[in-house]
Amino acid sequence: MRSFFAKYKFFGLVLLGLSIVIMYLFYNALKPKKLLPILQPVNFNPELVDSTLLHVKKYHTIADFSLINQNGKTITNADYQDKIYIADFFFTTCPTICPIMTDNMGLIQKEIINDDDVMLLSHSVTPQIDSVAQLKKYALEKGVVDSKWNLVTGDKKEIYDLARKSYMAVKTDGDGGPYDMIHTENFILVDKQRRIRGTYDGTNPEEIKKLLEDLKILKASYIK
């Protein structure tokens, strides 16, 4: 009897190994893909949401836009068509959170530099101060790669409406003063359908790691 088991021991071990591999493959095939939520205005702090959107529970998307980047080029939603992108709001003369946010956006730029599916978009909240020349100077100082990252200026009302009604990224509508927009430190992850899939504290290194992890999850969701 011992000789019988000894004879087929190797065969049994191979069969066991194959069984484990097959079970693992079946488990991964049947395991549902991890997906990010689609955020709607009702998911945000009401202070950040325009009153017209407070009860919107579905179908929210980023509105069309037309703004000017650091090279004087008109940038529209068409430039981000079929792209995942990360957006934020800043101003070049900000002495507090903006430099940290910009540095962290620069770290993200390094991670996505060879990824054609992902771009960055930073909106100036003081467009009357942040001219094209000022944005270009800032872009050069911060190592902005033009093909990946647009710093945009333009009509103040359009930027405010985008911040308040599309991205839920500001706490006030603004009263016309040069520094009246109380913008958040949020980075906003936007999918290829212009839907918000996550918000992250752009000054927090752990949140930046979480954003990059979520970016991988979002990218994987487009793989069929």
Please state the domain count of the chain: 2
Largest CA distance in the chain: 93
For residue 4, the model assigns a pLDDT of 46
Is 81 a domain residue? yes
Query: Which residue range is the domain that position 9 belongs to?
Result: 1-31
Which tokens sit at 109? 């730029």
Average pLDDT for residues 120-145, to the nearest whole number?
97
Is 189 within 8 Å of 214 (Cβ atoms)? yes
Closest by alpha carbon to 192, among 219, 172, 214? 219
Residue 156 has pLDDT above 60, yes or no: yes
Which pLDDT band, with edges at 50, 70 and 90, does 224 fall under? confident
What are 5's two structure tokens? 């088991």
Same-domain check for residues 56 and 83 = yes
Residues 10 and 116 in one domain: no
Q: Do the domain assignments include residue 103?
A: yes
Percentage of the chain exceeding pLDDT 90? 73
119 versus 22: the higher-pLDDT residue is 119
Domain co-membership, 3 together with 45: no
Annotated binding site: 94, 98, 183
Residue 20 and residue 49 in one domain: no
Q: Is residue 112 part of a domain?
A: yes
**Do 71 and 158 reside in the same domain of the chain?**
yes
Are 144 and 192 in a shared domain?
yes
Note whether 63 and 20 are same-domain residues.
Answer: no
The pLDDT score that the predictor gives to residue 46 is 93
Q: Find, among 148, 145, 76, the residue nearest to 115 by Cα.
A: 148
This prediction has a pTM of 0.84
User: Is the same domain home to 84 and 149?
Assistant: yes
38-42 mean pLDDT:
97
Q: How confident is the model at residue 26 (pLDDT cuts 50, 70, 90)?
A: very low
Q: How confident is the model at residue 18 (pLDDT cuts 50, 70, 90)?
A: low
Q: Output the pLDDT for position 172.
A: 66
Q: Are 199 and 186 in contact (CB under 8 A)?
A: yes
- Mean pLDDT, rounded, for 209-220: 98
Torsion of CA 219, 183, 160, 122, to 10 degrees: -40
Helices (H), 64-204: 97-112, 132-142, 156-161
Say whether both 4 and 62 belong to one domain: no
Choose the weakest-confidence range: 21-35, 70-84, 184-198.
Answer: 21-35
Point out the annotated binding site for Cu cation: 94, 98, 183
Domain assignment of residue 63, yes or no: yes
| Domain annotation covers residue 128 | yes
**How far is CA 51 from each of CA 39, 48, 160, rounded to the nearest angstrom?**
17, 9, 14
As a whole number of angstroms, the distance between CA 216 and CA 199 comes to 15
Residue 36 lies in a domain: no
CATH number of 180's domain: 3.40.30.10
Full 3-state SS string of 88-126: EEECCCCCCHHHHHHHHHHHHHHHHCCCCCEEEEEEECC
Give percent above pLDDT 70 in the chain: 81
Predicted pLDDT at 55: 93
